[in-house]
Amino acid sequence: MPATELLGSFEHRVLLACLHLKDGAYTASVVNELAERTGREAAPAAVYIALKRLERRRLVVSELRTESGAGDQRERRYFVPTAKGMALLRQAHGELLALARGLEPQLKETRS
């Protein structure tokens, strides 16, 4: 696979967050999902840029929707992984598992 088809670390995390959020992935929800699952804060601007970059690469598709609920009617751009994005996630997941195979004892948390 060409290097341009590899996922960067942050793009990988953003794409995984979109997958977790199913059809509810927009910038703020991705920021929250990343913080909740990784314990690390991500800047909304960085997430938005990553989502747009993933869309240009056709790894996600987006649609503009107006959701009404809790008193706010706001237009948001929602993102969903494409078949191509899913294929890259599967490939990256398989590669990481293959690299980690046999290293479980070293990767377990040790208490000092």
CATH code, domain with 59: 1.10.10.10
Q: Report whether 79 contacts 60 (CB < 8 A).
A: yes
Residue 106, domain member (yes or no): no
Residue 48: is its pLDDT beyond 80? yes
Tell me which of 72 and 22 has the higher pLDDT: 22
Parent domain of 94: 6-101
Strands 72-81 and 60-69 come out as: antiparallel
Amino acid at 47: V
Residue 111: is its pLDDT beyond 70? no
Q: What is the number of structural domains in the chain?
A: 1
Q: What is the pLDDT of residue 4?
A: 54
Residue 112, domain member (yes or no): no
Residue 110, domain member (yes or no): no
Eight-class DSSP state of 8: P
- Hey, which residues does 66 pair with through a beta bridge? 75
Question: How far is Cα of residue 30 from the mean position of the Cα atoms in its chain?
Answer: 7
Residue 111, domain member (yes or no): no
Residue 54, domain member (yes or no): yes
Residue 34, domain member (yes or no): yes
Residue 66, domain member (yes or no): yes
Residue 91, domain member (yes or no): yes
Residue 102: is its pLDDT beyond 60? yes
State mean pLDDT over 97-109: 89
CA angle, 83 then 33 then 5, to 5°: 35
